[in-house]
Each structure stands twice: as C-alpha cells, then as structure tokens.
A and B are shown apart, each in its own frame.
Chain A
Amino acid sequence: MKLVDVRRWAALRTIGASRLILKARGAINGAQGALEARQNYAAVMEARSAILTCLSIRSLAVGGSFDDSKDQLTFDPFYGLSEAEVQYALSLVGSGIASVDDSDHASTWMETVVQYVDDTEQLLGFEDPLPVIRSPNGMFASLRLAREWMAILDELNLPNPIPAEWIN
C-alpha cells in the first residue's frame, strides 16, 4: 500500500482508533442501554455523539483536525468530507430525533447507527476488531495498543490521543 502522507495515515490509524474505542463505542453502548430502558432522549444524545465522532474519524483521512478535546469548540468533525457523506450522517441524527416518541422505529434506527459505527471501524483498516474498552479485557488491550502508538506518534511529532486526565 503506497502512502502519500505518512503522518496523516498514522493519525488516522491511531487517533482514529482511539476516538472509536474511547468515544464512539462507549456512546453506542450508552445509547443501546438507554433505548432499552426507554430513556429515549439519552439514547438520541448518545447516538448523536457516536455519529459525530465517526464523522470526525472519517474526516481524519481528508484533512481533519487531530484535537477533538471537549474545550476545542472550533473543532470541525465535518472537515473535508463530501456533502453526501455529511448529509447521510446528519440524516441519521435527524431520524433519531424524529423517532424519539416512537420506540418501534427507534430500534430500527439504532441498528442503522450501530452499522454506521461498524462501517467506520472498517475504514480504519485493522485486520482484527478493535478492543471494546467496557469489556473485561478491553482496558488493558486498549492500553497495549496505546503504548505501541505513543512511540510512533512521538517520532512523527503528532499529539497523543490518550485523555489528558489519565496522564495528569
């Protein structure tokens, strides 16, 4: 596989994977739990968060920023993405809000959102599924991956995707 921009490829694999592990999967897990408990607004909020995170991961391949910290309000998860791609993701958010009072429709919608997260993981190009941090072995598997990445990121002078509060 020929790489045009090694630093951006490394960022997609590492920062993208960390966003998927730490944010998108956690949010989807929260959304599914909330939907099952008929906490429909919490489900919509969590799904919205997962979808925006997936957009930001896809954006990493086409010029998106590496810093999606909560306080970085100018961060643009849509950066560089085609209008069709953005509109599809936003339609998923919109469908969730539209179905907030309709639990039958909400289950179908949730399946579509989960598929969108799975598809985003596929785009990262890993052979094996990424660890699920909320599973019994997930935290240590994630930390092992992070340790590998940190060396590469440091060498390429790229930011560390591990949450700052875990380090400080």
Chain B
Amino acid sequence: MPRKAKLSDLLLLLKKRGLSIEQLYGQVEDVFGTPLLILASGSAPQGLANANSDIDLDVVVETGGLTQLPLLSFENGCRIEVQYHSSATVSDRIAGLMDPWPPNLRSGRVGWLQRAKGIHLLVRLASAVKLRGVPEWEGWYEQFDQPWVQSVLAKWWGVESLRYLAVARWLNHQKPILSGFRYSDAVLQALRARAAMMGETYLPVKWLVEQLQRLGDAEGIEMARHALRIPTDRDSVALFGDQCEGMVNQALADVGLPASPKIEVWYAPDVRIRAVAGGILASRWDISGVFIKSTAEGRAAMLSDPALAPIYEGDCHDDVPSFICELVEQDLVWIGVAFGSGN
C-alpha cells in the first residue's frame, strides 16, 4: 500500500514556524470558487521538510482554465505555495492514468507530455494529506490509498530509466562524461521505480536516498551511492555504464515492465530539416545544427513527415545508423521508449 503522509508532521512544522492550521487555511482564497478539496502536499507532510522548505497546498475548485503558476504568500517568514486545480482537469488527468503505460509505439513526445502531467499531479495528490473537503471529493480522494498508485508510478519511472539508458549508450563514444551522467540518471530513475513499488509516492529525486533510508533498503542505498560517483575518463565510463546497466535491471526486477522495449527517435521541437546539395541540414531555431552527408536511406528517413512516424525505431541494443548518432550528439532529437505494435 502507498505510504501515508502524516498530518502530525505538518502540524509539527507549523508549530516550528509559529503558524496555526487556521493561518494555513487563511492562505486559500475563494476567488476561484468554493474549495472542493484542500490538501497539504510536498515535503512537510512527508516529514522531510527543513528550515528552507516551503509549505505546499493543493486546492481543487470547480473553475476551469486555471494557470499552473502557483500563488505565493509569506506568513511569519514562511513561504506558502498554493496550487489551484480545476476539478474537471484533475478528474480527467487522474482517469487518464488508467490508460496503459508504457505506451504503444508512436505515441511520441505528445503522449509523453500528457502522461507526465498526470504523473506530476498524481505525485502531488497521493503524497499529500487531506485537510478539508466536500463529501464527494473526500470520497474521490480515497482512491489514492490503493496499490494502483504504486504500480502507475513505478512503471513511469521504470520507462524513464530505459529512456536515460538508451541515451547513455548512444553518447558513450562521443560524449563520455554526458554518457556517465545519463547512466547515473538511469539508475536513479530505476530506484525511484523501486521505491514506488515499496510504497513511496513522494519521489523528487533529491529525496531519493533519504527515502531509501527510511524504507531500510540498504541495497538500493548502495546502488544510489555508486551511481552518484560518476567517472570522468572514457575508459572508466564504459565500465561504469556496464555496472549501471546491471543496477537498472536489478532495481526494475519487480516493476513488471514488458519485455523488448523499442527505442524511438523523433525530432526535438522546433527542429528544421532542409535538403541541401550533398546532404541534410538539421537545425534548431537556426542557431545551432548539423550538416549530415546522408545515404539515400538516411535521407529518406530524415525527410519523412515527422508527424507520422519517428525517424528511427529499433531494439534498445541495436546499433543505430550514423546519422542518428549525429542528431543525438547535437541534441536535435527527442528519445522515446515504447512497447507493443505500431499503428
């Protein structure tokens, strides 16, 4: 079951800051309509807050079209951040998380962004403590005490880990230091997935080791410690990469991702492709780019309609064509991971 946030941890923090719960409620405005649900989220009800932490509130209201810009206030020098959500958006985004993930082929960055918004919301809500609500929304909120939350979060971080791993492999020869960081990130994402399976729902990467400590996961802590020691010379990065691959597999063992992930390469947003004599000019905002002398096959792939299909898809261990490596090195692509069959 997901770990429960504690009202007592929030109250303790409020006491330390010389604030009452009524003062906290006083930060919630009714300009967007009567609050349907008020939650305290973030590090405070997780018992992780420190002197520099702010206090986060999430408020569900009926009004639609709200900005995601948080509203800030200061009480006794304490920073309080209130995030308003429209009830329709909250319902839709959480319901959308019941769609399967990892995605089928070709959902691309648009599908990723949509899911990411849902995950971001789920983390905030599931790791929060309920303060007040109308009965209908208090009932709705009970769903976050169920194991599906762990499974959804673990699969998300598991797929993220595979995305980092793909990039780390492809950068290994040309950019070993960056590759080392991506290998490290892949392990940290996999450990987030593992922590989610063990019940943690509040998963900003900065708190990962502290969370593994409270889970008593000595093996996970050791993996994180190792992954944070990134070597900076080429030969050591290769060995480090192999070790990280092993740690990712170990950390994801119980997450239940399907076998045989496919790696997809899409153009990054705002990339412009021009066919010029002898090859292809790929650029982003026309301020940086790469000229690629291409084969007929590479030329056809690079000039295909990016709205319809990725410019490359293949098994995660396949060697990729050289033009893909050039685009990856120049940061002109977006990397996705998918499973299943294409449309």
Query: Which residues does A use to contact B, with CB under 8 Å?
Result: 7-8, 11, 29-30, 32-34, 36-37, 39, 41-42, 44-46, 48-49, 52, 63, 65-67, 71-79, 86-87, 90, 93-94, 97, 134, 136, 139, 157-159, 165-168
Contacts of A134 in B (CB 8 A): 54, 79
- Residues 275-307 of B at the A interface (beta carbon under 8 Å): 284-288
Q: In the complex, are the beta carbons of B74 and A74 less than 8 A apart?
A: no
A-B interface contact total, Cβ < 8 Å: 114
Contacts of B288 in A (CB 8 A): 63, 65
Show 29 residue pairs from A and B whose CB-CB distance is below 8 angstroms, ordered by the A residue: A7-B285, A7-B287, A8-B287, A33-B53, A34-B50, A39-B50, A42-B210, A48-B228, A67-B269, A67-B284, A71-B334, A72-B331, A72-B334, A73-B182, A74-B329, A74-B334, A74-B335, A76-B178, A76-B331, A78-B177, A78-B178, A86-B177, A90-B177, A90-B230, A97-B228, A97-B229, A134-B54, A159-B285, A166-B69
Contacts of B164 in A (CB 8 A): 73
Closest A residue to B335 using CB positions: A73
Roughly how many angstroms separate A90 CA and B29 CA in the complex, as a whole number? 45
Q: In the complex, are the beta carbons of A139 and B72 less than 8 A apart?
A: yes
Contacts of A63 in B (CB 8 A): 288
Residue from the list A65, A72, A90, A159 in contact with B232, Cβ < 8 A: A90
Query: Which residues does B use to contact A, with CB under 8 Å?
Result: 48, 50-54, 67-69, 72, 74, 79, 109, 112-113, 116-117, 120, 163-164, 167, 171, 175, 177-178, 181-182, 185, 205-210, 224-225, 228-230, 232, 268-270, 284-288, 328-329, 331-335
Contacts of A8 in B (CB 8 A): 287
- In whole Å, how far is A70's beta carbon from the nearest beta carbon of chain B? 8
- Sorted nearest first, the 3 A-B pairs with minimum C-beta distance are A33-B52, A41-B209, A37-B50
Q: In the complex, are the beta carbons of B175 and A76 less than 8 A apart?
A: yes
Contacts of A48 in B (CB 8 A): 228
Q: In the complex, are the beta carbons of B287 and A42 less than 8 A apart?
A: no
Q: 17 more A-B contacts (CB under 8 A) besides A65-B331, A73-B167? A: A11-B287, A33-B53, A36-B51, A41-B224, A42-B48, A45-B208, A48-B228, A63-B288, A66-B285, A66-B287, A74-B331, A77-B178, A93-B230, A97-B225, A97-B228, A158-B287, A159-B270
- In whole Å, how far is A120's beta carbon from the nearest beta carbon of chain B? 18
Contacts of B175 in A (CB 8 A): 76, 78
Q: In the complex, are the beta carbons of B228 and A44 less than 8 A apart?
A: yes
Contacts of A44 in B (CB 8 A): 228
- In whole Å, how far is B330's beta carbon from the nearest beta carbon of chain A? 8
Roughly how many angstroms separate A123 CA and B287 CA in the complex, as a whole number? 21
Q: Determine which residue in B109, B209, B229 has the highest number of CB atoms from chain A within 10 A of its CB, and name it.
A: B209
Main secondary structure, interface of A, reads: helix
Closest B residue to A26 using CB positions: B52
Contacts of B224 in A (CB 8 A): 41
- In whole Å, how far is B226's beta carbon from the nearest beta carbon of chain A? 10
A74 in contact with B333 given A39-B210, A90-B177, A134-B54 (CB within 8 Å): yes
Closest B residue to A43 using CB positions: B206
- In whole Å, how far is B210's beta carbon from the nearest beta carbon of chain A? 6
Contacts of B167 in A (CB 8 A): 73-74
- In whole Å, how far is A65's beta carbon from the nearest beta carbon of chain B? 5
Contacts of B205 in A (CB 8 A): 45
Contacts of A90 in B (CB 8 A): 177, 230, 232
Contacts of B228 in A (CB 8 A): 44, 48, 97
- In whole Å, how far is B65's beta carbon from the nearest beta carbon of chain A? 11
Contacts of A158 in B (CB 8 A): 285, 287
Contacts of A41 in B (CB 8 A): 208-210, 224
Q: In the complex, are the beta carbons of A33 and B51 less than 8 A apart?
A: yes
Closest A residue to B113 using CB positions: A71
- In whole Å, how far is B208's beta carbon from the nearest beta carbon of chain A? 7
Roughly how many angstroms separate A8 CA and B287 CA in the complex, as a whole number? 8
Roughly how many angstroms separate A79 CA and B328 CA in the complex, as a whole number? 13
Residue from the list A49, A67, A97, A165 in contact with B268, Cβ < 8 A: A67
Roughly how many angstroms separate A27 CA and B170 CA in the complex, as a whole number? 29
- In whole Å, how far is A56's beta carbon from the nearest beta carbon of chain B? 11
Residue from the list A36, A37, A73, A75 in contact with B163, Cβ < 8 A: A73
Roughly how many angstroms separate A79 CA and B224 CA in the complex, as a whole number? 26
Closest B residue to A71 using CB positions: B112
Roughly how many angstroms separate A46 CA and B53 CA in the complex, as a whole number? 13
Q: In the complex, are the beta carbons of B163 and A157 less than 8 A apart?
A: no
Q: In the complex, are the beta carbons of A166 and B328 less than 8 A apart?
A: no
